[in-house]
Structure 1
Amino acid sequence: MGRIDDSRPFIPVRIAVLTVSDTRGLDQDKSGDTLVKRLTEAGHILADRKIVKDERDDIAAQLRAWCAESEIDVIISTGGTGLTGRDVTVEAHRDVYEKEMDAFATVFTMVSMQKIGTSAVQSRATGGVAMGTYLFALPGSSGACKDAWDEILAYQLDYRHMPCNFVEILPRLDEHLKRSKG
């Protein structure tokens, strides 16, 4: 298990929260509220927050727009990760990813198994990287968002977490796009 090294400084990251829903507005967005509360209480910065309909192209367009913004380091979406015909968030994320983080889905499933047993197989949570930005697609339940934040993201988005974390490699995510002069 990892540990927090208190000799290292906390480095806040800028996080955008995207809720995918055909029916919810901000006033009914409990999952988005859960994420915003947890990320701000941890000391991170809420960079933006939006709700989009369950439309693959619209979701991917919002993800790409946020990835292009230098003021956003991480995007967390909630909703649309299930198995129904309207659940297209995972496909939209994969349309945007340069690299998928297979282990995120595995670890999320392990966490979910502890909470909801075999019902965890109905989630298609995913994570990846695009344009120097981390992207995570979480289920639409506030419990799943809480579990993903408390058990995975709170640690991996903390520079003090050892032996490694997402923050320390954030500056290198887009190094393949930089061209050397010479």
Structure 2
Amino acid sequence: MPGIDDSRTFIPVRIAVLTVSDTRELSEDRSGQTLVDRLKDAGHLLADRQIVKDEIPAIQALLKDWIANEEVDVVISTGGTGVTGRDVTPEAFTALYEKEIPGFGELFRMLSYQKIGTSTIQSRATAGVAGGTYLFALPGSTGAVKDAWDGILVHQLDYRFMPCNFVELFPRLQEHLKRSKS
């Protein structure tokens, strides 16, 4: 049965929060603040927080900086995952993935379906790994952020969560680089 193994020590993860929006300012960014509050309440560290416009070059420039930054383990974004012309977050993220985590989007939509029904089909939530950094792109609503954090990320970003979690995989995320040097 899945759950917390109290014999394991909690390991705080360094998380950067990105809000993708043409209109939001930090003072009115409820979804980004919800992520910050939840990650801190869980014992993790806020590595950085930024807002960028719905533009692929701007999103990717910041992602590349965070991927290269050894003080960032995980990036969680909110916004820009819908189907309108300005929603480009999934395109920006997937172009940088070394490995996609398709189950994240699938599980997110399953959880979301329980609350908003078929409207969840409009979400293009996605996740992957690049440069040893986990990247998660969530919709921009506070409800979606809560669903993703409470239903998936709080568990998968906790080293104590068993039978497995993303944190225990950190040392192995770049094994392919070691193989290619041999």
Q: Note the 1:21-170 alignment, pairs <5 A.
A: 21-170=21-170
- Summarize the Cα distance change of 1:180–1:130 in structure 2 as closer, same or farther, 3 Å threshold: closer
Shift of 1:95: 1.3
Shift of 1:181: 7.6
Q: What percent identity do the matched residue pairs reach? A: 70
The aligned length equals: 182
Alpha-carbon distance in 1 for matches of 2:134, 2:181 = 27
Alpha-carbon distance in 1 for matches of 2:175, 2:51 = 31
Alpha-carbon distance in 2 for matches of 1:181, 1:26 = 43
Alpha-carbon distance in 2 for matches of 1:22, 1:16 = 19
Partner amino acid for 1:51?
I
Shift of 1:178: 2.7
Once superposed, what is the RMSD of the aligned Cα atoms?
Answer: 1.2
SS at match of 2:129: strand
Cross-structure match for 1:2 = 2
Shift of 1:179: 5.6
Off by >3 Å, runs of 4+ in structure 1:
179-182
SS at match of 1:15: strand
SS at match of 1:178: helix
SS at match of 2:46: strand
Alpha-carbon distance in 1 for matches of 2:96, 2:2 = 30
Alpha-carbon distance in 2 for matches of 1:83, 1:7 = 44
Alpha-carbon distance in 2 for matches of 1:177, 1:61 = 23
Alpha-carbon distance in 2 for matches of 1:95, 1:60 = 9
- Summarize the Cα distance change of 1:22–1:161 in structure 2 as closer, same or farther, 3 Å threshold: same
CA offsets 1:144-168 (integer angstroms, 9 cap, x no match): 0011000000000000000000000
Alpha-carbon distance in 2 for matches of 1:35, 1:42 = 11
Deviating more after overlay: 30-39 vs 171-180: 171-180
SS at match of 1:135: strand
Partner amino acid for 2:160?
R
Alpha-carbon distance in 2 for matches of 1:88, 1:166 = 26
CA offsets 1:87-141 (integer angstroms, 9 cap, x no match): 0000000111111100001100110001101100000000000000000000000
Alpha-carbon distance in 2 for matches of 1:65, 1:120 = 31
Alpha-carbon distance in 2 for matches of 1:120, 1:181 = 43
Alpha-carbon distance in 2 for matches of 1:71, 1:176 = 21
